Amino acid sequence: MKSLARGVLLSAFFLTGCARPEPVKTVEKPPVPSAPPVPVVAPSWKVLGPGGGGSHFACTVSPFNPEIVFSKCDMSGAQVTYDGGRSWRMFNLRTVIYDFEFDPADSNTVYASNTGLYRSENLGRSWRLIYPDPADIIAERMVGDHAEQYFETKSGMPDGLITQVLVDPSDSRRIVIGLDPPGGVNPVKGPFSSIDSVRILVSSDRGAQWSLLARLPGREVLALFPGAWEDQPDQVKVLTDRSCYQLSFSGGAAVELGLPEARIRAADGGKGKAGAIYYVLSNFRQAGARAEGGIYRSTDGGHNWSQVSQGLLEDWQITAQLPYFKTLAVCESRPEVVYLSAHIYIDEIEWMPNRPKRDRKFGIFKTDNAGDAWRWVYRASEDSIYSRNLRGGWEDQSYGPEWGESPHSFGVSPADPDICYVTDNRTYVTRDGGKRWEQVYTEKQPDGSWRSRGIDVTTTYGVHFDPFDRNHLFISYTDIGLWHSFNGGKSWFHALKGIPREWINTTYWLVFDPEIKDRIWTVRSDCHDLPRLKMFRSGAIARGEYQGGVAVSGDGGKSWQVSSSGIPPNSVCTHILLDPESPAGMRTLYVCAMERGVYKSVDDGKTWIEANSGLGERPSAWRIERSPEGMLYLLVVRSIKDGKVVDGGLFHSDSGATSWQPVALPKGVTGPNDLLCDPRGGGIMYLSCWPYPLKGQESGGGLLRTEDGGVTWQRVFDEQAHVYAAALDPQNPDIVFINTFDSAAFRSEDRGATWHGLPGYNFKWGHRPVPDPRNPDQLYLTTFGGSVFYGPAKGVAEAKEDIEDGTYLRWAGMN
């Protein structure tokens, strides 16, 4: 079975540890059932990039064929491989997926859960919603700064996140789901839930009808175990973060079994020849000279638990900094085999004697004897892999082991304990029980560049084209900085050389000199994910805790130099604009900085001065644009200051940023996100807007158009939509593209009077549409979490949508 503490999805940790490895024991492998047929996938958009780049989770290996694996990320996309990780295909089910479950009686059937429960009967080629019933849905809602998705139903069926799914092995028509409490997102404080109980629902007819089985204490459903493992097919065992219960399908009383700790973070188990074994994981705590908590095992159905931490605490003294274990996973058919994610501070004695006494380690422990003894099977520190058994990818090359940190989740083959997929900011696999590990997210090319295998977990801001070389283009990224390609996007090189380590996280934008070959300016920062409101909640931007600035390259991005004199080093710089009428060698440039405003340079970026007259105090300057007539426009985004949400706004300057004046926006429009000027001039502009919740629905978003420079505005796209940015066809500016956070991108051929969705593209969190200047029939779509999509500017007409019969979905009928 699978388990995953939801907290793992919401944060990343650097984890540590070190111990001398023991010899790996050989085990007899059970027979692997014959492979089901691999589905044929219809044409679709291509995803470009080096692969990887962000947190990945919840690998689920088919019990019928270990080459078939489902996985997902916390930024809405999911992937499936049919060839053991040599290639992956992305699919999208409206929001972040929390669990996958194979039907034990049908090798082609798999379930996926998030705010709904989906079933595929062709190994993930297409999906159908089975909970809630599509006929019961009033509307699909997308509300909040991240367009959080949920279904509103006529019957009021229980909502919330479906974090665990069980298909009963004794009767595959019986499905059990665990729902974490419904919640919301406070713009200032973040996610919340006022409910302190989870709900367990059951269907006896493959999801046609559902009934509430129980409400149980807890905030997270961690695991569902079939009663058939204990010869009690009428029961199911449920573990939450705060409770353990045995439930009866026939209406018997719920039996509380108890937990060894008041709070657990993960649970898993399996049934082997000797019976069922269950494990729970809690945080260690110091009790005098002893360490309590950690890993516990039960061999009597959860009635009694014993601590099984042998080998995890023997090599260091108990201190205030106890080891931390993030999650674990069990081989379902060989439950004595367990993999454990470790984060440990260790007293260095032997491995690195020249390092400071305290050192941070992370990696993977494994037991082959149900926790009676543990050993390292992968061990690393921030700058070294001690176990020397990982064949890594570009992330290890560019950043070292610290980028991967400790595993977020494991996917152990139910049939073969030697096969285990691991996800952190990378995805890698062992096929020999941990002797060797190999990454499965990227491919290195003969020239040293990298190409994605289909796992792409990266936020992208723009695609940028070298005006002197049609095959040279850049992608500006969150988390992985800046990449460029010299073969039209087939493979990619990391553009990091010369960038201060504090800046390598995010490249928000770049600009080429239109007359001097290979001269490029970029703006970078270690603050990612802007302009989303969550980045202002901590107050770190206002306190100046992030770093950033301007870098310049004279060799086409192969190397960089800092060029930020006059811009404080703790500035979060998000956009840069070049005045094309300024002279080569003495360019006028403008830079936006969050909560600092605008900086201007008139000497090619060598020095900068503030240009904030008329903007007010600490403006959250996001983007600056220039109309064909030379008018400057500045977007100030919505932010949080002193515990309150502050509206964004729009300003203009006809004096080269010497002074600024506000541009009036329609009532309720407080979240401008992007501005696009029609190249024909005449005051025609498009304003992409982020909505704001009002009485349970969104308002003030969508797309606005002005034909008089912002004196008046007309709404040309739904105000409930989270429109990130717009673009115009360079050959026909009457053709407008938009990308949204609402699982769709759109095209209008009449300046926004009518719209059509781009078929085949349905990534949840979309960013910017970018027409391909080299091929006017092609379009790039940047995303928040799925790298860059590339495909026909009218969409892929023959593409099959991931969700079948989606008439209940928000944009149904717009293709």
Token reading at 648: 């964004």
Write down the pTM of the prediction. Answer: 0.92
Phi/psi for 394 (5° steps) reads -65, -30
DSSP letters for 489-533 = TSSBEE--TT--GGG-SEEEEEEE-SSSTT-EEEEEES--STTSG
How far, in Å, are 176, 250, 261, 299, 323 from residue 240 at the CA level? 14, 22, 12, 19, 23
**43-219: CATH class:** mainly beta
Q: What pLDDT does 33 receive?
A: 45
Q: What pLDDT does 613 receive?
A: 96
How far, in Å, are 41, 93, 761 from residue 798 at the CA level? 11, 19, 12
Q: What pLDDT does 89 receive?
A: 95
Please list the residue range(s) of the chain that carry CATH number 2.130.10.10: 43-219, 463-663
Q: Which is nearest to 1 in space by CA: 369, 355, 335, 432?
A: 335
On the 0-12 / 13-18 / 19+ scale of CB atoms within 10 A, 447 is exposed
The answer to whether the Cα torsion of 726, 730, 734, 737 is positive or negative is negative
DSSP, collapsed to helix, strand or coil, labels residue 159 as coil
First to last CA, the chain: 39
How far, in Å, are 46, 115, 119, 494, 801 from residue 136 at the CA level? 35, 14, 17, 49, 22
Q: What pLDDT does 29 receive?
A: 42
Low-confidence ranges of the chain (pLDDT < 70): 1-43, 184, 188-189, 192-194, 314-321, 344-360
Q: For 278-320, what is each residue's pLDDT tens digit?
A: 999 999 887 777 778 899 999 999 999 999 988 787 654 544 4
Is there a contact between 518 and 556 (Cβ–Cβ < 8 Å)? yes
Token reading at 587: 């360019």
Q: What pLDDT does 23 receive?
A: 35
Q: For 582-637, what is each residue's pLDDT tens digit?
A: 999 999 999 999 999 999 999 999 999 999 999 998 899 999 999 999 999 999 99
> CA-to-CA distance for 451 and 487, rounded, in angstroms?
11
Q: What pLDDT does 37 receive?
A: 53
Count the neighbouring beta carbons within 10 Å of the beta carbon of residue 783.
27
Q: What pLDDT does 7 receive?
A: 39
DSSP letters for 660-728 = -EEE---TT---EEEEEE-TT-TT-EEEEE--EEETTEEES-EEEEESSTTSS-EEEE-TTS-EEEEEE
Q: What pLDDT does 42 receive?
A: 54
Q: What pLDDT does 195 receive?
A: 76
How far, in Å, are 458, 630, 666, 779, 781 from residue 425 at the CA level? 10, 44, 42, 28, 23
How far, in Å, are 398, 461, 535, 550 from residue 497 at the CA level? 10, 20, 27, 14
Is there a contact between 735 and 752 (Cβ–Cβ < 8 Å)? no
Is there a contact between 433 and 427 (Cβ–Cβ < 8 Å)? no
Q: What pLDDT does 30 receive?
A: 43
Name 591's bridge partners.
576, 599
Q: Domain spanning 463-663: which superfamily?
A: YVTN repeat-like/Quinoprotein amine dehydrogenase (2.130.10.10)
Q: What pLDDT does 588 receive?
A: 98
